[in-house]
Structures are given as structure tokens and as C-alpha cells.
A and B are shown apart, each in its own frame.
Chain A
């Protein structure tokens, strides 16, 4: 965006229009200048650390039942109180975060990885594109949770099932974005030039296409991460997720709903952790978009 265009009075629509200055600062530096990004990254670091360090911060088996300690409200002894089986909620939230974040991370890596490869293929080969895009249409409109429920029923609830079905469902939106970006990028002159001098397709992909689509992928990854965490929690909550033997935020809430009037804290804390994670990831995605593509982000 040229400065002159943004300030020419004939085009001015308001004095608060931003003037975009292209700087040579790295993405990281620009992110650090964005308060929302800093707060959301800090929140994610704290959440990840507390999940990774859960065995140190809250040692012991989080699923250990202590019937004598049922329904103790939050206090110094149990920061987040205890549930109907006398389990310490603080421990459950910390340990549950391990599963939730791990599933989110794996699903993001798998689905984004597949989306990038398929998106590149789709962007370059017309016939593949037609088929893939119809599949994406079908997957996008259909509620993923229903598919994942059916998958869980057939494959049996487990971590693998959740990761598989969420990955499949979340490929669709990312694939569409990557493919759109590849379509734009491949028309660029440098790509045309590289093709005309016979650069092999694979190298074209790693040297030119991948760097060019990295910005939208980065933005999309944070939204996919948040969708994956939410998806896992939802599936586990209705009992078709990681299975009753494991612990996640969604699982922790399944039982909790039966005791909501006696012990609302059982509902409160796992949900807060969940929401905080999703919020931080969404805010990170928003600010990444602000930083990487100011044109799109102006209004947010």
C-alpha cells in the first residue's frame, strides 16, 4: 500500500485509515509489538508449561479416588476443589491439559501437513483439483463431530480414533486455504520463470510455493489448533472421545454435569482452562493475521 494512495484526500474515507508501512522487521518482532499477541502467547506458554510440568506441579495420580474427600470446595488444600470421587480438580485440570494440548498439537500437524501437500497438488493439477474440491465441499458443510462420533463408534473410542477423525475433518478448511494461495502464487512471474527454465516440481514446491504460502498456513494453524482442542473436548465430553480411562478437559466435564448444583467448581475449572486455551489460540490467530496480512485484518 503506498503512502500517497492512503492519504490522498480524494480517496480518504476517514482520518483513522491506517497507513501501512512495510518494514524489514521479522514477523516475531512485529508480533512482540502487538499487545494481543504478547498476551495470548504468554497465556499459551503458561498453559503448555503447566501441562508439561504437571507431574512436578501436581504430583500423584490425578485419577486416584478418595471417597472421603468428596465435594470439597476450592481452598488452600485443593485449589480447584474436589469432585464426586474426591479427586483433586487442580490435578485433573493440569493433567487433563496434557492430553488436550497433545491431541490438539498432533491433529494440527497432521491435518496441516496433509493440507499443504494436497493443496499444492490441487493447485497444480486441474483434474485432482476438481475431485478434491468436491470432497472438501462435502466435508466442510457436514458437522465434523457427527462423523467423528460415527468413527468412534466403529473404531472404538481412543486417542487414535480422536486424532484420526479430527485430522480428517480439519483437513478440509486448511486444504481450501492452501489451495487458494497456491493458485495465486503459481501465477507469479518468479514461479513462471522457474518453471520455464525447468526447475523440478518438487523443488519448485519447497523453494517457492512453501515460503509463499507459509503466512496463511501459520494463521490457519492457530485456528486449527483451537478447533482441534475444542473438538477433542466435545467428543470426549459426549463419551466418544479419548475413552474413559484417559483424562482430558472434556472428559473431566462429562461426570461434572451431574453434580452441577452441589459442586459447580467441578464444571468451572476444566471449562475455564479449555476456554482460555481456545481464546489464546484464536487471539494469536487474529494477531498473526494482523501482522502477516494487514489488508485483511484492518477491520478486526
Chain B
């Protein structure tokens, strides 16, 4: 399927546990400063990603996934107040100023957006956007940058790379656009890729191709990958570990296989029951009733309680994230494994 010529590397031999940690997020919190004071958006998010590892950040829209990603990239809105520690390749980047943060973007971290049509510039050529990045981050000359851009397009499986470089985003198909986006994100050899719902806007058939491409890139380049999604199937197939978020909180964290098969948090269970599955003989879907409470209207105690069938008096106090047998769960009444 892919046109690139690079040989597939051998199956991962180094066990994940022995690999270098690329990203560490500790007690990350984010609030927006507005006229009335601080409006909390994300509270207490912690996770880490190792080299070659894919971690999923899962939840409904409005849970704070994307804003968490922008906080890591250092491109959160100006009025965001960010707390906690973010460590990239051993360097505490949360302590850096905005200019130094910007220097890490592209070179050490790449970002892939949900909607490549709007995430690529409409009136600058594909080539211009790629060479601007390459020239600035790697100090390449114009001709070297063009050469490298063509190689990158080739590598993500885009035929006629030289022609595409002269083209514009509106001339490409959805899948091609996302390939260009991926080429742009990996262009300066980052160690971390953050992909924000990279397949949501694509046709189902194209989704699989783009996921395959991301998987290839991850293996070839030993990339640490943060994969923001609401699609649990993708989590199970594609990610090593998963972090489930609800209303700005981490509610469950662990191996993605454990979470997708035996979730302990009622919200994670709900997410799985809401997905049509073809193999477990279920005939009807169970949606999670209600919606994510808007920011600023979070309930006291467990934020999921109003939508939770297991909620009782105890849930009026805030649960902590605690390690159960397999996963870390923030719940007073976790589901038994296998339930």
C-alpha cells in the first residue's frame, strides 16, 4: 500500500519497560483566566510515554483532551494558566519561556490535526509550508529543503511528490491531505508526535490507511505518540496504553488492552458499550445518558456521578486516582475485572 522504499524494521525487540521515557506529564492542570477569575479546564493529569510507544488520550469531546495536548505543545491560548510539570527528553519544558518552548515545536514535537483541510494553509503551496519549517528548524538551504520535502512526501506514500509540492491543499483528497500533514509533523525528526483525532475527518477506508502509515512511522522512527481519540477500537488496535479523561480529570489509566477489555471505571465501560462492536453478540448499543457537564459547572465530588448508575452518597466526595489490580482508577465503586 505504501510507496516508500524504506525497509520495514524488525519487530520491536527491546521491551517497552526498558525504553527511554520521552514525555512525562505530572499533575498537569490548566485554567482560563477570564473576567470572573480562573476557570478550570483540566485538573490533575499525569501520564508518560516512552520511545516507540503509543498512548491514547480518550474521552468525549469537551473532556479536555485537545487542550491538554496544546498545553504540552506550548500552544495553548494566551490566557491559559498552566500548572504541573511537563518533561520532554529529560528537560523540564514547563519551566521554559514561550520563545524556548516554540523552538521545541517541530524539532522535538510534531502535531497532527483532526482536519487537514483547515490545518494546512489555504493559499501557500504545500512545498512552501514544508520548506518554511525545514529551513527554519534545520537550517537547510532552499534547494536542500525542497529535496528533503520531496523525500518526505515520498516516504508518506504520496506519488509525484514534486508536483504535489507545487500544489495547494484544496487540490488534494482527504487522505492525501492527512499524509501531507503527517509528513510535515515528522519533517524535522521529532521524538514525540501528538495526533489529535487524526482520522476522525476521513472516510472509513482512508482511516485504516492513515492509521497504518502512523504505525509505520512510529516503528521506523521510534516515535513516542500521543493519540487523542474517542474511538476505542482505535485505542485497542493501535495504542499500548490509554488514559481516559472525563471533565478535565483522568478517570482511568493503564494498558489499553486492559481498559478496552475490562474497564474498571463506569465511564470507560460506558464508552465501550456505546461503540458498535461486531464480535460480542450484543444487539443494541447503550449510550451514556446525558452530556459532559460544561466547564465551570462540574459537580462537587466525582464529576461523572450525575451520569453514573452506580453513584451514591459517597460519590459526593472527590475520589482519588488509585491503582487497582491492573489499571489506575478514579472511582469509589469501580467495576470488577471482567464485569
Contacts and interface: CB of A to CB of B under 8 A. Distances in A.
A200 interface: no
Given A3-B294, A4-B294, A7-B294, A15 B77 contact: yes
Contacts of B66: 9-10
B74 interface: no
B69 to A, nearest CB: 10
Interface string A1-44: 00110011111111110000000000000000000000000000
A127 B66 CA distance: 50
A10 B64 CA distance: 6
- Most A-side CB within 10 Å, residue of B61, B62, B66, B67: B62
B65 to A, nearest CB: 7
B268 to A, nearest CB: 19
B306 to A, nearest CB: 14
A8 B62 contact: yes
Contacts of A3: 294
Contacts of B106: none
A11 B295 CA distance: 11
A8 B294 contact: yes
A4 B294 CA distance: 6
Contacts of B33: 15
A16 B79 contact: yes
Contacts of A8: 61-62, 292, 294-295
Interface of A is mostly: loop
A12 B294 contact: no
Contacts of A14: 32, 77-79
A16 B80 CA distance: 11
A9 B292 CA distance: 11
A9 B34 contact: no
B295 A16 contact: no
B118 to A, nearest CB: 13
A3 B41 CA distance: 15
Contacts of A13: 77
Interface in B268-286: none
A12 B67 contact: yes
A14 B39 CA distance: 11
B35 A16 contact: yes
A19 to B, nearest CB: 10
Nearest to A16: B34
User: How many of chain A's residues touch chain B, expressed as a range?
Assistant: 10 to 19
B29 to A, nearest CB: 12
- Most B-side CB within 10 Å, residue of A3, A13, A16: A16
A290 to B, nearest CB: 18
Contacts, number: 50
- Most B-side CB within 10 Å, residue of A3, A4, A9, A13: A9
Contact of B41 (A4, A12, A16): A12
A11 B78 CA distance: 15
B200 to A, nearest CB: 12
B42 interface: yes
B97 interface: no
A175 B291 CA distance: 44
Nearest to A2: B294
Interface string B77-102: 11110000000000000000000000
A12 B61 contact: no
B94 to A, nearest CB: 19
B296 interface: yes
Contact of B79 (A9, A11, A15): A15
Contacts of B62: 4, 8-11
A8 B61 CA distance: 8
B266 interface: no
B248 interface: yes
Interface string B18-49: 00000000000000111100010110000000
B28 to A, nearest CB: 13
A11 B41 CA distance: 12
B72 to A, nearest CB: 14
A7 B34 CA distance: 12
A11 B32 CA distance: 13
A14 B291 CA distance: 22
Contacts of A7: 294-296
A218 B64 CA distance: 41
B34 A15 contact: yes
Contacts of A16: 34-35, 79
Interface in B192-211: none
Contact of A15 (B39, B63, B248): B39
Nearest to B38: A15
A15 to B, nearest CB: 3
Nearest to A4: B294
B15 to A, nearest CB: 35
A226 B140 CA distance: 56
Contact of A9 (B35, B78, B248, B291): B248
Nearest to B36: A15
Contacts of B32: 12, 14-15
Contacts of B42: 9
Interface of A: 3-4, 7-16
26 contacts: A3-B294, A4-B291, A7-B295, A7-B296, A8-B61, A8-B294, A8-B295, A9-B41, A9-B63, A9-B66, A9-B295, A10-B61, A10-B62, A10-B66, A10-B67, A12-B32, A12-B41, A12-B67, A12-B295, A13-B77, A14-B32, A14-B79, A15-B33, A15-B34, A15-B39, A16-B34
What are the 9 tightest A-B residue pairs by CB atom distance, in nearest-first order?
Answer: A15-B32, A8-B62, A15-B34, A9-B41, A7-B294, A10-B66, A15-B79, A9-B67, A7-B295
Given A4-B62, A9-B248, 13 more contacts: A7-B295, A8-B294, A10-B63, A10-B65, A11-B62, A12-B41, A12-B67, A12-B77, A13-B77, A14-B77, A15-B34, A15-B77, A16-B34
